[in-house]
Chains A and B, each alone.
Chain A
Amino acid sequence: MKPAIEAEGIGKDYGSLAAVRDLSFAVDAGEVLGVLGPNGAGKTTAIRVLTTILSPSRGRFAVAGIPSTRSREIRRRIGVLPESSGYPERQTGEEYLTYHARLHGHTRRSARAVASGLLDEVGLLPRRGSVIASYSRGMRQRLGIARTLVNDPGVVFLDEPTLGLDPAGQRQVLAHVRTIARERGAAVLLSTHLLTEVEENCSRVLILNRGRVVAEGTVSEVVRRAAAPRSGRLQVAPEQTDRAAAALAGVPDVGRVTRDGRPGCLSIAFASPGTRSEDAPLNAAVRTLLEAGIVLISFELEGARLSDAFLAMTEAA
């Protein structure tokens, strides 16, 4: 089956500035691809190219199997929540969704039915008759998500959907994102700053920096490839602290071992894994402690997170 989104060598220039360079990736139906990048990385530009708002300077793409030359047909098949989406203050939520449903080809009657259904789905049915000016930010984002679904799209683009929302609002929106992919079988491209969002909701991640793809894959693949420096914090029985430090100092790939002040707590830094498995230093450290008869109360690994990989990739480039 063809991917829902296929991009090959996409580039977009604004004069002499290359906002997006050589963007190539694919997303399957039912998959959620997280797109990460610092400000100005080209995420929004990439989304605008793929959603036919902007024309690419180079490359080609296909969305829902439709080539980029047929932009109107692409727009029939996609739902988009832009980053800076505004809402007409004087329209009600129901009017807004009905309008967009009709723009996507629904008749008046079916548009009203679709609007009601979607408002119910995003929990806004009780406020259907209220003007959007009275909606909170979270409600507007949910309305925006509802709007992306008026045409039952096969591909959904969400650009910073949780921006400005409180944790509860973020949770609600992300729940809808998962539902879109799981229950509707749509391919979702989720652009976000929040790395935890990606870790929890995305099957794959794409990291952009200065218009280029610097990493692509599953979260663990990206983290591994980034070779982020890792460290750990362990806690042993207080009387065994010195023995543990001495034992760890002799383990290959374990760097510095320091006490962090609390009884029994040690911080250790792992050397980069090189060609060996990334887990080798960690396993060696734990094995050494156990063989030495040291009681390991807790072990917390640091530096193996997406956030570290993200920073490593975007700062180095």
Chain B
Amino acid sequence: MTTVEQTADRAAESKAAPGWTVVVEQELRDLWLGGRGLLLSVAFSLLLSIIAYLVATNTALNFLEHRESVNLVLQVAIAVGGLLTLLAAADAVSGERERGTLESVLLSPVTRSQIAAGKVLAALSLWVASFAITVPYAWFLGRGVGIVGDALVTGVVVGTLLAVFLASLGLIVSLFAGSNRVSLSLSLFVLLALFAPTQLPSNAQQGWAGELLLRVNPLTAGEHYVGKILVSGHAWSQDLSWLASPLAAAALLATAAPILGARFMRLRGGVAT
């Protein structure tokens, strides 16, 4: 390559947007203007509407049950928002592979780690939208019991940590899955497995083993923290240790996703080279 071409390359690079932003923008367009994201948002808002209506028209609810209802709305938002984010990320690479559109993206000069990062960020938009939709419901239900602020702040903190964790997880599964069906199924299975401890009997959740299981699992730890703030009225700092696993999981997988993307984003899934 000549010096002129190298200079032109560098000049073009400095003016053009970074590759990951181009990927994010296009993925957002595909997700939202393509229609899938909006339809999912409508479905989610219907779910919240049903829950909110049932809660609001239940005149027998006492104060504590009312607080628990706000907690329920927030937990549903975090769970469903996380699920949608996970599924979008799980489709990100394996879906493109099956649709035959991955190769043309890999043929661009954008690095694979940037492509991976862009896809994770775009998947996170589903969480952002889910939370935004939840705000009016949380406000309506929470204003009577004075926990709107607590609900929204805990929701955004815990929900974002979990969404980052799930989006990164979904992308990593998508990198290695042999097909899109495997990617989506495996991601869903992992999510259900993470939610499973919440269904254990309450005496099984107590004791050092039960508490360890709940603390190590980022989903149950996050759910526990939100509950303590909203239902038990704890202060922010009182149960901060419960945020350790969501924070660690989010940080670890968000770091791993682009690194693994750089190494394993290929035309065929699987770990074999």
Direct contact of A and B (CB under 8 A): yes
Q: What is the interface of chain A, defined by CB distance below 8 A to chain B?
A: 48, 51, 53, 64-66, 72-73, 75-78, 80, 82, 84-88, 90-91, 95, 99-100, 102-108, 147
B29 interfacial by beta-carbon distance below 8 Å: yes
Question: What 0/1 pattern do residues 24 to 35 of B give for CB contact below 8 A with A?
Answer: 001001100011
Q: With A72-B111, A107-B16 as given contacts, are A85 and B1 in contact (CB-CB < 8 Å)?
A: no
B4 interfacial by beta-carbon distance below 8 Å: no
CB distance from B66 to the nearest CB of A (A): 43
Cα A100 to Cα B104 in complex, Å, equals: 8
15 A-B Cβ contacts within 8 A?
A53-B106, A64-B1, A66-B1, A75-B109, A80-B104, A82-B104, A82-B107, A84-B100, A85-B101, A85-B103, A87-B101, A90-B35, A99-B22, A102-B22, A105-B16
Contacting residues of chain B (160-180) with chain A, CB-CB under 8 angstroms = none
Q: With A90-B34, A104-B109 as given contacts, are A73 and B1 in contact (CB-CB < 8 Å)?
A: yes
Residues B100 and A91 in contact, CB atoms below 8 Å apart:
no
Cα A85 to Cα B97 in complex, Å, equals: 10
Q: With A90-B30, A91-B30 as given contacts, are A82 and B103 in contact (CB-CB < 8 Å)?
A: yes
Q: What is the interface of chain B, defined by CB distance below 8 A to chain A?
A: 1, 9, 12-13, 15-17, 19, 22-23, 26, 29-30, 34-35, 99-101, 103-111, 267
CB distance from A71 to the nearest CB of B (A): 9
Residues B100 and A86 in contact, CB atoms below 8 Å apart:
yes
Residue of B nearest to A73 (CB): B1
Cα A2 to Cα B220 in complex, Å, equals: 62
Q: Once A and B bind, how many residue pairs between them come within 8 Å at the CB atom?
A: 76
Q: Which of A66, A86, A100, A105 has the most CB of B within 10 A?
A: A105
Residues A99 and B26 in contact, CB atoms below 8 Å apart:
yes
Q: With A53-B106, A80-B107 as given contacts, are A95 and B29 in contact (CB-CB < 8 Å)?
A: yes
Instruction: Give every chain B residue within 8 A of A53 (Cβ-Cβ).
Output: 103, 106-107, 267
CB distance from B28 to the nearest CB of A (A): 12
Residues A77 and B105 in contact, CB atoms below 8 Å apart:
no
Instruction: Give every chain A residue within 8 A of B35 (Cβ-Cβ).
Output: 90
CB distance from B67 to the nearest CB of A (A): 43
With beta carbons under 8 angstroms apart, the residue of A76, A95, A103 that contacts B105 is A103
Cα A73 to Cα B17 in complex, Å, equals: 17
CB distance from B97 to the nearest CB of A (A): 9
Q: With A90-B35, A95-B29 as given contacts, are A107 and B15 in contact (CB-CB < 8 Å)?
A: yes
Residues B99 and A86 in contact, CB atoms below 8 Å apart:
yes
Instruction: Give every chain B residue within 8 A of A75 (Cβ-Cβ).
Output: 107-109
Instruction: Give every chain A residue within 8 A of B26 (Cβ-Cβ).
Output: 95, 99
Q: With A53-B103, A85-B100, A86-B101 as given contacts, are A103 and B267 in contact (CB-CB < 8 Å)?
A: no
Cα A46 to Cα B1 in complex, Å, equals: 23
Residue of B nearest to A65 (CB): B1
CB distance from B124 to the nearest CB of A (A): 20
Q: With A87-B101, A90-B34, A90-B35 as given contacts, are A104 and B1 in contact (CB-CB < 8 Å)?
A: no
User: Which 6 residue pairs across A and B have the least CB separation, nearest first?
Assistant: A86-B100, A103-B108, A90-B34, A105-B16, A102-B22, A76-B109
CB distance from A186 to the nearest CB of B (A): 14
Cα A105 to Cα B15 in complex, Å, equals: 8
Residue of B nearest to A51 (CB): B107
Residue of A nearest to B111 (CB): A72
Residues A103 and B99 in contact, CB atoms below 8 Å apart:
no
Supplied contacts A48-B267, A99-B22, 20 more A-B pairs, CB within 8 Å: A66-B1, A72-B111, A75-B108, A75-B109, A76-B9, A80-B107, A85-B100, A85-B101, A85-B104, A87-B100, A88-B101, A90-B34, A95-B26, A100-B104, A102-B17, A103-B19, A104-B108, A105-B13, A106-B16, A107-B15
Residues A100 and B1 in contact, CB atoms below 8 Å apart:
no
Cα A105 to Cα B17 in complex, Å, equals: 7
Cα A108 to Cα B30 in complex, Å, equals: 17
With beta carbons under 8 angstroms apart, the residue of B12, B100, B111 that contacts A105 is B12
Residues A103 and B110 in contact, CB atoms below 8 Å apart:
yes
Instruction: Give every chain A residue within 8 A of B103 (Cβ-Cβ).
Output: 53, 82, 84-85
Cα A43 to Cα B107 in complex, Å, equals: 17
Instruction: Give every chain A residue within 8 A of B111 (Cβ-Cβ).
Output: 72
CB distance from B234 to the nearest CB of A (A): 46
CB distance from B272 to the nearest CB of A (A): 8
Cα A86 to Cα B97 in complex, Å, equals: 9
CB distance from A56 to the nearest CB of B (A): 13
Q: With A88-B30, A107-B16 as given contacts, are A100 and B100 in contact (CB-CB < 8 Å)?
A: no
Residue of B nearest to A89 (CB): B99
Instruction: Give every chain B residue within 8 A of A82 (Cβ-Cβ).
Output: 103-104, 107
Instruction: Give every chain B residue within 8 A of A90 (Cβ-Cβ).
Output: 30, 34-35
CB distance from B108 to the nearest CB of A (A): 4
Instruction: Give every chain A residue within 8 A of B9 (Cβ-Cβ).
Output: 73, 76, 105
Instruction: Give every chain A residue within 8 A of B101 (Cβ-Cβ).
Output: 85-88
Instruction: Give every chain A residue within 8 A of B106 (Cβ-Cβ).
Output: 53
Instruction: Give every chain B residue within 8 A of A147 (Cβ-Cβ).
Output: 104
Residues A103 and B1 in contact, CB atoms below 8 Å apart:
no
